A and B are shown apart, each in its own frame.
Chain A
């Protein structure tokens, strides 16, 4: 039995199988007039009615076109763009800041003042951790989510092709016995419903309860367990009924795809979007389990300094003495 590996090749094969099955049924009916499908005492048999036309077959078969979209190309393009973002951030930006830390950090020799110390403590020292955290809690999670989504789309297409190929098998084996067409069927286990689909979430190390800077955060896989349909059936007593069952099976694939996507969306929402929001809010307010993701924010107006007071812990001393202003404190 040939296996068709693309929507483009399986569609004409389906039409061929359907028309051939119809011809076999017609020949059988002609060979035994009055005893053909639907004309005997067996009410389960279906007559070769007006629905057994090429146009009707094609209508069912064209349902497969839906499985050519979305293409993997745009998903992979998005992933590549994120990969470049990660390369930029890992490209030595942190290293350049680290070099400054040797000169301006605590104990650095180039500049000694409260402002210099704050600059070293709150910007230079944690910068490497800040960039690493930015990459871990966002870029990696976004990339992993696209990988998972791409995996889902591949499985969805695999399921559609499996169903289409199984449909051909069923059509080819439509049993004509004594001019009677017996019901033929096949069951397909959906790849989408299989195991191994995971998506990354954010996990904060236990040290986060005490450490102020440099807390470890990581992303880790969470299994997507949501599932609504694990297998589908294809069968019927006539070509059109077999093809109709194929479209119902394809509907099942779409339902499973949606369930899996919903499960992945839930993990992203609970384990990424909300977590990042919490981390950013805590970081901005300098709250207890602060995980550094942002460098202290500069004021929108007035003399430049490390922070305008909305940031965490940094005193407005990142200015030469002439800029000291009582209202800053």
Chain B
């Protein structure tokens, strides 16, 4: 296995992937998580009957549906987002540690960080998110609001 020092261009690619690409993908999961959580705002009205109404069967269907929805939000989207973020942090750390072995490279990575923040170093998709919206948690307030994809 070749563990040789990567070239500067390679370090920049590693850094960009960790600083921008993975957090941006993590943001996608945050938006998806907000959409999934937004079902909670309509849930009560959707499954509530009046009068004699429907009974245990509807409650059962509601409970199973909500359990699957909670699994999607809490056990799939949230950990996926978290893993993407920490993997991104790992890549940043990898690039930084390699760069520290060469003072010029360290400065180049620092300059790259500035350029990415401004305009993604010329590639809009490479601009890091200013913050990543985390996937809502189970006990977050119910809402009907969610981000729409442009």
Contacts and interface: CB of A to CB of B under 8 A. Distances in A.
Interface string A243-283: 00000000100100111111111101100110011001000
A298 B82 contact: yes
A100 to B, nearest CB: 5
A204 B62 CA distance: 25
B14 A280 contact: no
Given A261-B61, A298-B83, A110 B14 contact: yes
Name A's interface SS. helix
B54 interface: yes
A66 B50 contact: yes
A319 B49 contact: no
A113 interface: yes
A88 B35 contact: yes
A294 B4 contact: no
Interface size class of B (residues with CB under 8 A): 35 or more
Given A265-B64, A272-B68, A297-B79, A69 B94 contact: no
B60 A262 contact: yes
A134 B80 contact: yes
Interface size class of A (residues with CB under 8 A): 35 or more
Contacts of A89: 28-29, 32
18 contacts: A65-B51, A66-B51, A81-B36, A81-B146, A93-B29, A97-B21, A110-B13, A110-B14, A112-B3, A138-B72, A142-B68, A265-B65, A268-B65, A295-B80, A295-B84, A304-B93, A318-B94, A319-B90
A277 B71 CA distance: 8
B3 A70 contact: no
B64 A280 contact: no
Nearest to A91: B149
A89 B31 CA distance: 9
* Most central of B50, B62, B86 by chain A CB within 10 Å: B86
B60 A142 contact: no
A261 B57 contact: yes
A111 B125 CA distance: 21
Contact of A294 (B55, B67, B79): B79
Nearest to A277: B71
A306 B94 CA distance: 12
Contact of A297 (B6, B83, B93, B97): B83
